[in-house]
């Protein structure tokens, strides 16, 4: 099932209608069943793969938390959870590519490699739910998030149907607290059918449908004939098709993100914005700060402490981490007009900011900063909560 199908046009109002009629204690189960039905409508057997992936991340996070500071056991659970899921991703998505390349390379050297090929259909959304699970496990390992003990909520976090098709990749530190607040609170605090919020979500969905059906699909009509038979078209046609493809892929990706965010807003959840006018970027780094923000920030977060042996334990006092590596640099240069910071670990003076902790790690200075309430929300995709900006890295 995809968002632009007739099946989804029936599925969505039914799910939302039942959701708002149910008592709060049953809503998480309703969304979980709806999410697995959404996924199984494509190929039922692959729901077992999604369940197994969730189970491995769930147990790995519990193991990391139980054996905290136990050295090898903590790392064993952490790396085992990641290895199992990356292994499944490689097997289903990349194995056949590497098998073909290995066979071609062997032929060049006179070696006949007989590697078995996997004749399987690529599981829908396997990259997104794998990356989302890795992000959750990394946050638990770094003590930025406690392991989720409610297995049903963990299943919903991994299978939540608006995010299964094309993301965005929601961090556990951002999404799981919303799930607990919205779905596990008593009936007196449950999310109700609020006209303004629901209309806002439906408008965002409508924008997504417009991007996909009116814009992306029509750009595809220009691209496909040229890319299917490039020898039959002139260089000008190829150039026009390439430009059209740039807009097609943007409207395609951002459409699904808008629909996912709109559905979530109707249900009472807020997802991060995934695209921020990327073609208005002024440089390549600026482009990647605007394009598929959740994916680029996912890679940034994993590289934040990649060269270190210990998680970011010295910033435990900070309630939430910064979402991207660029955040402190953006804050310093654009909002407070501060100079570039070098790699020194000496204390730095930030106007209107109080340095809570600072520690030199390798080539970066990591800081936890308390942000005054008067500071504007300088970046729509960074998580700024409760007057705090979390851990960041300013390269030397």
pLDDT bracket for residue 188 (50, 70, 90): low
Residue 259's DSSP bridge partners are none
Evaluate whether 354 touches 370 at the Cβ level (below 8 Å): yes
Better pLDDT: 265 or 384: 265
Better pLDDT: 353 or 85: 85
Tens digits of per-residue pLDDT, 355-377?
333 333 333 333 334 433 333 33
Has residue 328 got a pLDDT over 60?
no
| High-pLDDT (> 90) share of the chain, % | 29
- Quote the pLDDT of residue 338: 37
Evaluate whether 385 touches 318 at the Cβ level (below 8 Å): no
In whole numbers, what is the pLDDT of the chain averaged over residues? 75
pLDDT bracket for residue 211 (50, 70, 90): very high
- The Cα–Cα gap between 341 and 329 comes to 8
Lowest mean pLDDT across 35-39, 75-79, 195-199, 378-382: 378-382
Written as six digits, the tokens of 237 are: 């046609």
- Quote the pLDDT of residue 359: 35
Q: What is the 8-class DSSP label of residue 355?
A: E
Residue ranges of alpha helices (H) inside the chain are: 6-21, 24-40, 46-66, 72-89, 95-108, 126-141, 151-159, 161-164, 172-183, 195-209, 217-228, 235-267, 284-290, 293-304, 327-330
- Quote the pLDDT of residue 318: 32
Lowest mean pLDDT across 13-22, 200-209, 280-289, 319-328: 319-328
- Quote the pLDDT of residue 324: 38
Tens digits of per-residue pLDDT, 271-282?
888 888 888 888
- Angle, CA 333 vertex, CA 331 and CA 338 arms, to 5°: 100
- Quote the pLDDT of residue 312: 44
Domain range list for the chain: 6-187, 195-273, 313-395
Lowest mean pLDDT across 63-67, 192-196, 264-268, 365-369: 365-369
- The Cα–Cα gap between 10 and 4 comes to 11
Q: Which residues are CB-contacts of 81 (< 8 A; sequence separation ≥ 6)?
A: 56, 57, 59, 60, 61, 63, 133, 137
Better pLDDT: 343 or 3: 3
Q: Which of 74-83, 96-105, 292-301 has the highest mean pLDDT?
A: 74-83
- Quote the pLDDT of residue 301: 66
Has residue 327 got a pLDDT over 90?
no
């Amino acid at each position: 099932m995809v968002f632009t199908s007739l099946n989804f046009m029936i599925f969505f109002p039914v799910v939302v209608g039942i959701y708002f009629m149910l008592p709060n204690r049953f809503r998480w189960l309703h969304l979980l069943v709806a999410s697995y039905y959404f996924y199984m409508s494509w190929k039922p057997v692959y729901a077992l793969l999604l369940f197994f992936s969730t189970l491995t991340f769930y147990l790995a996070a519990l193991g990391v938390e139980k054996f905290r500071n136990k050295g090898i056991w903590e790392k064993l659970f952490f790396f085992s959870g990641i290895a199992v899921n990356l292994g499944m991703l490689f097997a289903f998505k990349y194995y056949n590519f590497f098998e073909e390349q290995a066979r071609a390379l062997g032929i060049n050297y006179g070696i006949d490699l007989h590697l078995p090929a996997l004749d399987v259909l690529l599981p829908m959304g396997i990259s997104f739910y794998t990356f989302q699970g890795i992000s959750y496990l990394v946050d638990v390992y770094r003590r930025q998030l406690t392991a989720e003990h409610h297995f049903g909520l963990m299943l919903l976090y991994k299978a939540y149907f608006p995010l299964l098709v094309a993301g965005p990749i929601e961090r556990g530190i951002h999404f799981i607290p919303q799930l607990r607040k919205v779905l596990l609170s008593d009936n007196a605090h449950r999310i109700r059918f609020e006209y303004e919020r629901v209309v806002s979500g439906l408008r965002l969905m409508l924008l997504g449908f417009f991007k996909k059906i009116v814009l992306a699909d029509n750009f595809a009509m220009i691209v496909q004939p040229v890319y299917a038979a490039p020898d039959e078209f002139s260089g000008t046609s190829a150039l026009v098709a390439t430009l059209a493809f740039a807009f097609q892929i943007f409207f395609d990706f951002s459409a699904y993100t808008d629909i996912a965010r709109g559905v979530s807003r109707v249900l009472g959840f807020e997802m991060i914005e995934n695209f921020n006018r990327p073609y208005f970027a002024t440089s390549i780094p600026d482009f990647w700060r605007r394009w598929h923000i959740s994916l680029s920030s996912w890679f940034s977060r994993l590289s934040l402490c990649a060269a270190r042996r210990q998680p970011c334990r010295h910033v435990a006092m900070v309630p939430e981490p910064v979402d991207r590596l660029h955040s402190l640099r953006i804050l310093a240069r654009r909002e407070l007009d501060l100079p570039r910071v070098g790699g020194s670990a000496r204390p730095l003076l930030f106007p209107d900011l109080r340095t809570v902790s600072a520690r030199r790690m390798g080539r970066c200075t990591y800081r936890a900063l308390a942000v005054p309430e008067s500071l504007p929300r300088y970046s729509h995709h960074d998580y700024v909560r409760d007057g705090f900006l979390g851990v960041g890295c300013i390269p030397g």
